[in-house]
Amino acid sequence: MKVYGLTGSVGMGKSTSDKLLRDRGVAVVDTDIIARQLVEPGQPALAEIQASFGSEIVSPEGRLRRDELGRRVFGDAVARARLEGILHPRIRAIWQAQINEWRAQAMARAAVVIPLLFETNAQDQFDKIICVACTAGSQRRRLKERGWSEEQIGQRIGAQWPTEKKMDLAHYVVWTEAGLDVHAAQLTRIMP
C-alpha cells in the first residue's frame, strides 16, 4: 500500500483534493474532521480544553465556542501550543490507526490530509507528500469568501509554515489555480 500525506496552507485546496480523491475511490482521512470530532460534547478532549482555557470556552449547550477559542489561540503562540498539545497526539493516534486498518485491508493507496503535516513532524509516516498550493491572492480571496476578517486570515496563515517551504519539502505540488478538471488531473497523475 502506498500512503500519501496531503498538506497545504489554509485555503489552498485541501478539502477539494480530499473530495476529488474520494470520488476516485481513494481512501482518505482528514485530520480537520478528526479534530472536530474530538471536541464534540462529552469528548475527553473538550473537557481538557475547557479545563485549560476556562468554562466560557464551552457554550451553555456544551459545544466548543470555536470563534472564541480561535481568537485566543491564533493570537497567542503559547495558547496555541497548549491546544495543540491536547489535540495533536489524539489526532495522530486516530490517523495512524486508520492507516493500519487500511494496510490490513490491503488497500492499494490512501491519503491522510494534514494541514500541519510538516509542522507536526509527520512526514516520515508517508511514502510521498503532496502539497496543494495557489497564489497568496487566491488564498486570501478564498478565505474572505468564508467570511474571515483580515485579522483572522493573517493569524491563521501566520500559524502555519510558509507555502513555499511546504512546496519545497513535498514530493509533489498540485497547483489549484485552474478549474477542478485540472486539479483532478494533477492528482490522477500522482496517484494513478
Looking at residue 4, the DSSP 8-state letter turns out to be E
In the chain, what are the domain boundaries?
2-190
Ranges of H-type helices in 58-132: 66-73, 77-104
pLDDT digits (tens, 9 = 90+) for 28-63: 999 999 999 999 999 999 999 999 999 999 999 999
User: Which residues are paired to 118 by β-bridges?
Assistant: none
Confidence of residue 75 (pLDDT cuts 50, 70, 90): confident
CA-based radius of gyration for the chain? 17
**Half-sphere exposure (Cβ direction) of 88: Cα atoms closer than 13 Å:** 15
Would you say residue 9 has pLDDT above 90?
yes
pLDDT of residue 100: 97
- For residue 66, name the pLDDT band (cuts at 50, 70, 90): very high
Pick the closest to residue 75 from 168, 174, 156, 179 (CA basis). 156
- Beta carbons of 83 and 49 less than 8 angstroms apart: yes
pTM of the model: 0.93
Q: What is the CATH number of domain 2-190?
A: 3.40.50.300
User: Which strand ranges, in their side-by-side order, compose the sheet holding 172-175?
Assistant: 27-30, 109-113, 2-7, 128-133, 172-175
pLDDT value of residue 93: 98
